Amino acid sequence: MANSKKLTDRRDREGRRRRMLAAAFETEVNQYLAELAGKKDERGYRLGSATGTTGPGL
């Protein structure tokens, strides 16, 4: 029973770590894209876009 509890606790900690890292990464990407919003290169192409994302209006 003790091993089962340890395994469950470890899996829960790993899951929380992954979610925290994913949230931090998403925040960083969103900040980067916000900084580039409205900016274009010399050819008129947008400098930043959220390619590959899904959601309303994307």
What SS3 state is found at 54? Answer: coil
**pTM of this prediction exceeds 0.85:** no
Sign of the CA dihedral running 26, 31, 32, 36: positive
Q: Which helix (H) or strand (E) holds 21?
A: helix 2-36
What is the model's pLDDT at position 10? 93
Q: Is the pLDDT of residue 56 over 70?
A: no
- Average pLDDT rounded to a whole number, residues 42-57: 71
Mean pLDDT of the chain: 85
Cα 46 versus chain centre, distance: 21
Beta bridge partners of 4: none
Which of 31, 33, 25, 27 lies closest to 51 in space, CA to CA? Answer: 33
Report residue 38's pLDDT band, with 50, 70 and 90 as the boundaries: confident
DSSP 5: H
pLDDT tens per residue across span 1-26 = 688 889 999 999 999 999 999 999 99
